[in-house]
A and B are shown apart, each in its own frame.
Chain A
Amino acid sequence: MSKYTEEELQKELETKEYEYGFYTDIESETFPKGLNEDIIRAISKKKNEPEWMTEWRIDAFKIWSEMEEPEWANVHYEKPNFQNISYYSAPKKADPNKTLDDVDPELLEMYKKLGISIDEQKKLQGIAIDIVVDSVSVATTFKKTLAEKGIIFCPISEAIQEHPELVKKYLGTVVPKKDNFYAALNSAVFTDGSFCYIPKGVRCPMELSTYFRINQAGTGQFERTLVIADEESYVSYLEGCTAPSRDENQLHAAVVELIALDDAEIKYSTVQNWYPGNAEGKGGVYNFVTKRGLCETNSKISWTQVETGSAVTWKYPSCVLKGNNSVGEFYSIAVTNNFQQADTGTKMIHLGKNTKSTIISKGISAGRSQNSYRGLVQIAAKAENARNFSQCDSLLMGNKCGAHTFPYIEAKNKTAQVEHEATTSKIGEDQIFYCNQRGIDTEKAIALIVNGFSKDVLNKLPMEFAVEAQKLLEISLEGSVG
């Protein structure tokens, strides 16, 4: 008999388990723990990088060494010991140049568990996928189809070798090395990630997708993604993330840079499901990510994210609306449960004239979790007729969790129009009973209500992933896991 009281709901939510918490025994090559110039040179050497790249990293390391870890986010955690992390771990048999038949069967098995059989993916028209396990990129499908259109989609390590002019020109231009503590760290030690270039006037014919997975213990993942949409081009990009369940905390500090040149459009969607820690708050991934996009004239960048994982999340996908008439969008669903803490939001920096931004943030908190939205809308003095609309809705389950909203607005131009709306609601016993009365059990009822609450954002995801995201929301908030 499933019945609903606040207390029982609480209990039910606490028993949630992490579906992707397996560890795959793949032979790995892992660097000794610790961070210094030698390690960085070794990473760079391992990756066969040109001199300029090595120096770029060393420079970032020097900047990082002088920086202090930020304290201002509304999250509390034991700070990672940066000398106790291994900065490079690679499945031994991985080699991006090999065909799929050469891929370690254990790896393939892992993909299967993740629900991303590459074979299937290969057949599935419309999605090209790059998979990053620990520090290296292990498979990129659809390369050929894309190459015919002049689209480059490959591991960033490969791009550094094969397309140095593009990497040199754009890397670190949107998120400079000194931008923040974790961005500096990432710049020094990033090991892989995806690179994508869409040539002028090309509409990318399929979703590009990267799948990140932390497998090895005691390692950090520092991937770097660089997406460049040349003039009048379009691309939709999706990243998904999982990690095994471990008692210790794992660090994930990624940097994503998007560049939309004149009249280009980039849609960047994330479904993040890193291990959130167990019901007592032990373990889980620290997800400290810097994501930023630069919009040139008439261009558009949309960030859509569904965040259900990680013990601590600190993440603000942002848009720098540099060009006139450029558009920035941020659609986010952040779910926190048990002892998870999320401090996420966005920054919309309006520099150009007639720039427009939209922010829709949906926070769902359960258990004893803390869910904060932090958003900055900045309108520069020269940004005539800039417009922003922000809406932040919070849904609470039970009495022990918290939702917080921190909107910051800095308007330096009088023509700016900035609107902010916020609501907080609770899933009511009456709503649950109403659903129950119609034959819908409590778990399904919660899923239904949460999906309804998140609909505005789910609708922004590419179709294939909206369904996946919906499932993920259910898993994150329900007692039973498949």
Chain B
Amino acid sequence: MLQIKNLHAGIEDKGILKGIDLEVKAGEVHAIMGPNGSGKSTLSSVIAGKEEYEVTEGEIFLNGENIDELGPEERAHAGVFLSFQYPVEIPGVSVTNFVKTAINETRKAKGLEEMPASEMLKKIREKAELLEIDRKFLSRSLNEGFSGGEKKRNEIFQMAMLEPKLAILDETDSGLDIDALRIVANGVNKLRNKDNAVIVITHYQRLLDYIVPDFVHVLHNGKIVKSGTKELALELEEKGYDWIKQEATI
């Protein structure tokens, strides 16, 4: 599904990602952990195609195709979804209207007709229920005045609506209370199947109790310095990052 080879990227003269290799196959869950500022969000932005970052070296393949030349919306059409660490506000645009536009623009790009209103409504109802979202919430302006947790839940609602092939969840757990975490995590699990893949970026083991990763990677200073299975996350929870940082500098 996703293949990243020797990826170097940064902003202006500053390198942030310094040689990332990663392969994510359909049906897998990968967790990416790592200290603040190590480049996790940058990596997700670069995969999603944010133009602000310049790719100086390396390649990204999606389903075997180099996506270097694709704009962010084209990558989205190809099935990439990013649950933002900091979702932005769009005043005056309701969640429903936004999601509807997103779905129909994606369909348009694929040469499909707009989704019939009844089908759209049914889907909205279904997914709102899955994530225990009050439907009144959906008529509010996108992210405007949403609490931290509401923003994150809304991201996953959009993911549920868009049914991506590759979902990257950037600290979706931060800001969620204990119940919300369970609801959102269960929602994500229900959306998983053998044809899609999830990358979860997190600082905490508790999310990984629910969304169990097949692989765990540690990002430090723009590089993946350690990869392992879910046990690695437990080890990190216990020991912190210092031992890895030390290993990495040796």
Contact = CB atoms under 8 A, between A and B. Distances in A.
Interface stretch (A69-77, A90-98, A226-234, A428-436): A428-436
A431 B90 contact: yes
Contacts of B48: 433, 437
Nearest to A8: B51
A48 B106 CA distance: 60
B49 A455 contact: no
Contacts of B88: 428, 430-431, 434
B93 A436 contact: no
A449 B90 contact: yes
A444 B109 CA distance: 13
Contact of A437 (B70, B72, B91, B101): B72
A438 interface: yes
A439 B90 contact: no
A421 to B, nearest CB: 14
Contact of B105 (A4, A439, A452): A439
Given A1-B70, A433-B50, A438 B91 contact: no
A451 interface: yes
A239 interface: no
Size band of the interface chain A makes with B? 20 to 34
A444 B97 CA distance: 13
Interface string A1-33: 111110000000000000000000000000000
Contacts of A452: 90-93, 141
Most A CB contacts (10 A, CB to CB) among B77, B90, B106, B109 go to: B90
Interface string B52-90: 100000000000000001111110110011101001111
Contact of B158 (A431, A433, A436, A438): A438
B130 interface: no
Contact of B76 (A5, A428, A431, A437): A437
A451 B106 contact: no
B76 A436 contact: yes
Contact of B102 (A1, A5, A428, A440): A440
B138 interface: no
Interface residues of B, number: 36
A44 interface: no
A437 B82 contact: yes
Contacts of A5: 51
Interface string A414-444: 0000000000000011110111111111101
Contacts of B71: 1-3, 436, 441
Contacts of B72: 3, 433, 436-437
A448 B89 CA distance: 12
B162 interface: yes
Interface string A442-477: 101000110111111000000000000000000000
Contacts of B70: 1
Nearest to A450: B92
B162 A439 contact: yes
A441 B82 CA distance: 16
B93 A3 contact: no
Contacts of A437: 48-49, 72-73, 76, 80-82, 84
Nearest to B70: A1
Interface in A300-342: none
A437 B84 CA distance: 10
A64 B123 CA distance: 64
B73 A441 contact: yes
B98 interface: yes
A188 B98 CA distance: 51
Nearest to B99: A438
A96 B127 CA distance: 58
Interface in B37-53: 45, 48-52
A1 B69 contact: yes
Nearest to B71: A1
A448 B73 contact: no
A434 B101 contact: no
A456 B93 CA distance: 11
B86 to A, nearest CB: 8
A5 B50 CA distance: 11
Interface string B93-123: 1000110011101100100000000000000
Which of B48, B70, B73, B84 has the most chain A CB within a 10 Å cutoff?
A: B73
B90 A436 contact: no
Contacts of B97: 448
Contacts of A441: 71, 73, 105
Contacts of A431: 88-90
Contacts of B77: 439
Given A438-B98, A438-B158, A448-B93, A2 B73 contact: yes
Nearest to A440: B105
B92 A453 contact: yes
Contacts of B80: 437
B92 A451 contact: yes
A438 B92 contact: no
A4 B45 CA distance: 14
Nearest to B44: A437
A430 B87 CA distance: 9
21 contacts: A1-B69, A433-B50, A433-B72, A434-B87, A436-B72, A436-B76, A437-B72, A437-B82, A438-B98, A438-B158, A439-B103, A439-B106, A440-B101, A442-B73, A444-B105, A448-B97, A448-B101, A451-B93, A453-B91, A455-B92, A455-B93
Interface of A: 1-5, 428-431, 433-442, 444, 448-449, 451-456
Given A1-B69, A4-B51, 7 more contacts: A431-B89, A431-B90, A434-B90, A437-B49, A439-B105, A448-B101, A456-B92
In the A-B complex, the 7 residue pairs with the closest CB atoms: A452-B92, A452-B93, A436-B72, A438-B102, A439-B106, A439-B76, A455-B92
Interface of B: 45, 48-52, 69-74, 76-77, 80-82, 84, 87-93, 97-98, 101-103, 105-106, 109, 141, 158, 162
